[in-house]
Structure 1
Amino acid sequence: MELVELMNKTHDESRQGEAFQATESPVDFHKKFYIESYGCAMNFSDSEVVAAILQENQFSATSQFEQADLVLINTCSIREKAELTIRKRLTEFRKVKQSRPGMLIGVLGCMAERLKSQLLEQEKLVDLVIGPDAYRSLPALIEEASSGQKGVNVLLSRDETYGDISPVRLNSNGITAFVSITRGCNNMCSFCVVPFTRGRERSRSAHSIIQEIQQLVDNGYKEVTLLGQNVDSYYWKDEVTGQMVTFANLLEMAALVSPDLRIRFSTSHPKDITDDVLMTMAKYENICKCIHLPVQSGSTRLLQLMNRTYSREWYLSKVDRIRELLPDCGITSDMIAGFCTETEEDHQDTLSLMDYCGFDMSYMYFYSERPGTLAARRFKDDIPLDIKKRRLQEIVDKQGELSTRNNQRDIGKTFKILIETDSKRDNNDWTGRTSQNKITVFPKSSSLQKPGDYVWVKITDCTRATLLGKIVDHP
């Protein structure tokens, strides 16, 4: 699938489909590694775990792959285009290796699990293949590959969470960070490869999550995003006390770490987000009021084929409930155009659902079959490419209308903004986000302001993707 993005990307969303490159390590060892990541936020979080494991084994990070002894690429298999991009990048790495025979090239993550034999034997692009649950074995695999063998471990685990590893934030702005709370997925959506590449769902210890968040606060971070394929199904039992921790409980525990720490989370499955979660969000000001609630299609018939386990009407009622309990909550979504057997009526159902929900932003794709998925085994990919692209463009245009309208409604309002960094277009401006996850750009008004500060910003104008405003004393 090709990704068409309507809005400027936010911190946790910006990394979808883009390369993440580790910056220089704070510790300089003789051996150097370079890591590049593609795909979802979970992949970028995993790269920070890998960096920690490598640093413990006397590797330091470099931002120049030509200088690295170990080059790793953390991969995504969600779309065919992502795999093609990664193959091209591996070819570039291989050319450099010809002049540096000691360099090792490795593939991590979802694509590693799915295409291990092709990458190792047929195309001979890599020396190492490590699946998402095998990162602890990386030092041993590096040793094997250094001796001329192929280092391979793609075994999936039922209990690995990396909860005891403190991630190395190599590419961090020092303000925002990811914290993984679950791994894997139990939902068998027919179009999705995640259950096959990341395994069954398991929840990380609540104690280790809160400890990691506390360490981030102690180091000056002001925002964390709790990550999982389906955060709402988080469920952990303390074996000592017998206490059961749900996602609503975990949200509250995170919010209580510090009132100055913003809490975000992604991604929610519509069937699992509960009133308890919504009421916890309403209770704590520092839990951001934005929910990413992927719908994929507005047609009940297609939702059944996708095995999404809810109907159009059920999804709309969930949106109504969010609006009832959290009137100021932003809602974003995912949409797939041209899924198997999709009719014009199904497509119109998607457009009308978007109108009803008024999404602030969406990730929009056209369907391409992924080998090994339920859809690939059960259904024919029967929608012509030109029709997929036309329907996708209509979805993109619809979201453009909704985003513009929603942003225009914010003109005149005042929001609490966490300053994140300089604006990309003008160093005289700051950029940050509202609680609803809308990118906001505003002029610097004091030399005392710095990233990590909260300011009140009154919105004076907007584009389709961005709110524009000015700092004010108080709403």
Structure 2
Amino acid sequence: MNKKLFIKTFGCAMNMRDSEHIITELQIKENYSITENAKEADLIIINTCSVREKPERKLFSEIGIYSNIKKQNAKIGICGCTASALGEKIIKKAPSVDFVLGARNVSKISKVISIPKAVEVATNYDESNYEFCISKDSSFRALINISIGCDKKCSYCIVPHTRGKEISIPLDMILKEAEFRAKNGAKEIILLGQNVNNYGARFSNHHRKVNFTNLLQEVSKIDGIQRIKFVSPHPLHMDDEFIEEFAYNKKISKYIHMPLQSGSNNVLKDMKRGYSKEWFLNRVEKIKKLVPNVGIGSDIIVAFPTESEDDFKDTLDVVKEVGFDTLYSFIYSPRENTSAFNLEEIPRDVALSRLETLQNLHREILKSKAKKEINNTHRVMIENVIDSIEGRSDNGRLIKIEGSKEVSLGEIYDVVITKNENGSLFGKIA
């Protein structure tokens, strides 16, 4: 009998990819089909994120919601980073949960669904050589993991505690999946890892020496792949070889995400980021010199416990100098099992004021940039044709396309920018 699976995913692209693995494993091995209606599901999975604010409160709220609406005998499973962090505490606090599966144990999904109250959350479990079932869907985009875990010790970050030490996935496994996905219609490949450009630092089995630049070169040889993206690179590992490959490889999208976190050297040191403001700006300068129209995105945490007003001004200065095209900005949120957890937090009103100042500055930067885009032509890959026609340029700009010309998902068109509305770009196919 066909069973139905409902899955809700929180968090980053890594979590999205984990959910894809879970879905495909259960479809192929356990005869599940996906449903968008939790009330009719035989299995409800919540794939959690521990980076979001108040993750425990959010998780138990979600459990309560689904426990009340699930049909009789339906199971509830908790996966992801919060599952890794809390483990069996989840089942003790929420008896309606049938199993807990950590972010480092995704390959065990077929096993745990049949074991009452199973808890599999070991962060030293190595699934880097596990060949997940691969979906035969014809999506134009494919997410592909190239590493698992993280070796960094950023003082604010819970990820190393929930995903374990960094291990690279063997090159031949990555290329095999990329080739399969390309043959099934994928035109855009997104390579995933906590620190993608540290690829090759450690394999669990004997492996020839290879780095991220080598991987990019190999993936770009695959027929059918038109655009390669990756998230997220670490500024510390942006050596010249990597930057030059990014600049000169025509298949690599000319948008790069560079998580700054703070523009203050004092705060960067307290965050244990491993680089200085000067190093970050030097890398930006080199990238812009080689790719003048590059798109650059970043993450910034405001009100880290040791951040002074001068430190915050340093961050604003870097934002002005770089002119980020996208910016994900957050107020510092303490996490247990991080070295910054016991530091005294900055008052909430001060934190909110700094966040508002930063976001207002970025909005003005985007408006200024958008005005300069009128009449420019971009190569745009279509990403949505349902509510409206829109896509992303090679340098990462989201562009809404006006007009009635028929377009196809995943195809690339020349689009001329015709107007902007408060920083949003509109264009027409040339």
Q: Under a length normalisation based on structure 1, what TM-score does the superposition of the two structures give?
A: 0.86
Matched with 2:93 is: 122
Give 1:464 shift: 4.0
Judged with a 3 Å threshold, the aligned counterparts in structure 2 of structure 1 residues 136 and 454 are, in CA distance, closer, same or farther, namely closer
Matched with 1:7 is: none
- Cα RMSD over matched residues? 2.1
Matched with 1:189 is: 154
Matched with 2:272 is: 307
Matched residue pairs, number? 429
Opposite residue 48 of structure 2, the aligned amino acid is T
Matched with 2:243 is: 278
Give 1:318 shift: 1.4
Matched with 1:438 is: 397
Q: Distance in 2 between matches of 1:291 and 1:169?
A: 29
Matched, 1:324 2:289: yes
Judged with a 3 Å threshold, the aligned counterparts in structure 2 of structure 1 residues 321 and 44 are, in CA distance, closer, same or farther, namely same
**Equivalent of 1:455 in 413, 417, 430:** 413
Percent identity of the aligned residues? 34
Judged with a 3 Å threshold, the aligned counterparts in structure 2 of structure 1 residues 238 and 43 are, in CA distance, closer, same or farther, namely closer
Q: Distance in 2 between matches of 1:463 and 1:213?
A: 38
CA contact 1:278–1:326 (8 Å) conserved in 2: no
Give 1:311 shift: 1.3
Matched with 2:111 is: 140
For the residue of structure 2 that corresponds to 1:302, the secondary structure is helix
Give 1:238 shift: 9.2
Matched, 1:345 2:310: yes
Q: Distance in 2 between matches of 1:415 and 1:86?
A: 41
CA contact 1:461–1:467 (8 Å) conserved in 2: yes
Give 1:137 shift: 2.5
Matched with 2:344 is: 380
Give 1:236 shift: 6.7
Opposite residue 80 of structure 1, the aligned amino acid is E
Matched with 2:7 is: 35
Judged with a 3 Å threshold, the aligned counterparts in structure 2 of structure 1 residues 158 and 326 are, in CA distance, closer, same or farther, namely farther
Opposite residue 394 of structure 2, the aligned amino acid is S
Give 1:456 shift: 0.4
Note the residue ranges of structure 2 that are not aligned, 5 or more in a row: none
CA contact 1:407–1:462 (8 Å) conserved in 2: yes
Note the residue ranges of structure 1 that are not aligned, 5 or more in a row: 1-28
Give 1:278 shift: 1.7
Judged with a 3 Å threshold, the aligned counterparts in structure 2 of structure 1 residues 242 and 208 are, in CA distance, closer, same or farther, namely closer
Q: Distance in 2 between matches of 1:200 and 1:302?
A: 25
CA contact 2:25–2:133 (8 Å) conserved in 1: no
CA contact 2:419–2:425 (8 Å) conserved in 1: yes
CA contact 2:229–2:252 (8 Å) conserved in 1: yes
Matched with 1:105 is: 76
Q: Distance in 2 between matches of 1:158 and 1:129?
A: 15
Give 1:260 shift: 4.8
CA contact 1:31–1:58 (8 Å) conserved in 2: yes
Q: Under a length normalisation based on structure 2, what TM-score does the superposition of the two structures give?
A: 0.94
Q: Distance in 1 between matches of 2:322 and 2:107?
A: 43
Matched, 1:469 2:421: no
Give 1:239 shift: 11
Matched with 1:77 is: 50
Opposite residue 40 of structure 2, the aligned amino acid is Q
Q: Alpha-carbon deviations, 1:174-221, whole Å to 9, x = none?
A: 222211111110011000000000000011111111111111111112
CA contact 2:139–2:185 (8 Å) conserved in 1: yes
Higher mean Cα deviation, 271-280 or 294-303? Answer: 271-280
Opposite residue 268 of structure 1, the aligned amino acid is P
Q: Distance in 1 between matches of 2:270 and 2:225?
A: 44
Opposite residue 254 of structure 1, the aligned amino acid is V
Q: Distance in 2 between matches of 1:237 and 1:371?
A: 27
Give 1:423 shift: 6.0
For the residue of structure 1 that corresponds to 2:382, the secondary structure is strand
Q: Distance in 2 between matches of 1:333 and 1:163?
A: 32
Matched with 1:394 is: 357
Give 1:58 shift: 2.4
Q: Distance in 2 between matches of 1:178 and 1:242?
A: 23
Judged with a 3 Å threshold, the aligned counterparts in structure 2 of structure 1 residues 390 and 47 are, in CA distance, closer, same or farther, namely same
**Equivalent of 1:154 in 109, 118, 121:** 121
Matched, 1:206 2:164: no
**Equivalent of 2:375 in 408, 412, 416:** 412
Structure ranking higher on relative contact order (CA contacts 8 Å, 6+ apart): 1
